[in-house]
Amino acid sequence: MRRVITYGTFDLLHYGHINLLRRAKTLGDYLIVALSTDEFNALKGKKSFFPYEKRKLLLEAIRYVDLVIPEENWNQKKSDIKEYHIDLFVMGDDWKGKFDELKDCCEVVYLPRTPEISTTEIKKTLHDQEK
């Protein structure tokens, strides 16, 4: 069985997220999503619209996702790869090159993002509409 892992906040779930998860799943048999916790987001200077448990519930309902685990810090990726016997690490191409050090643990692939949608743009549009 080929195991795939990806990481992210997955806030305001949209079709770009679904596209990424669908493409990640086609690269293997089992897809794990490491979901940023609220505490980790705070350390990154981010705040999600939905709390961790709600975002986790949404991801677990997606047929491409087999398991959701918490992402609690930047440094857990190597231990996750070892613990979950990961064959392939997948991220959006806006992270290209940032995780190449993981290539000694597993294959690393950067997938193109869906260009016309992003959580940042959704939040900006909602904020602009409130004015």
Q: Active-site residues: which are they? A: 44, 46
Q: Are 39 and 4 in contact (CB under 8 A)?
A: no
Buried (b) or exposed (e) across 62-77, using 16+ Cβ within 10 A? Answer: bebbbebbebeeeebb
Task: Please name the helix (run of DSSP H) or strand (run of DSSP E) that holds residue 26, with its range, or none.
Answer: helix 15-26
Q: For residue 9, what are its two tokens? A: 């906040």
What order of strands is seen across the sheet that includes strand 88-92?
A: 67-71, 30-36, 3-8, 88-92, 107-111
Q: For residue 116, what are its two tokens? A: 């016309």
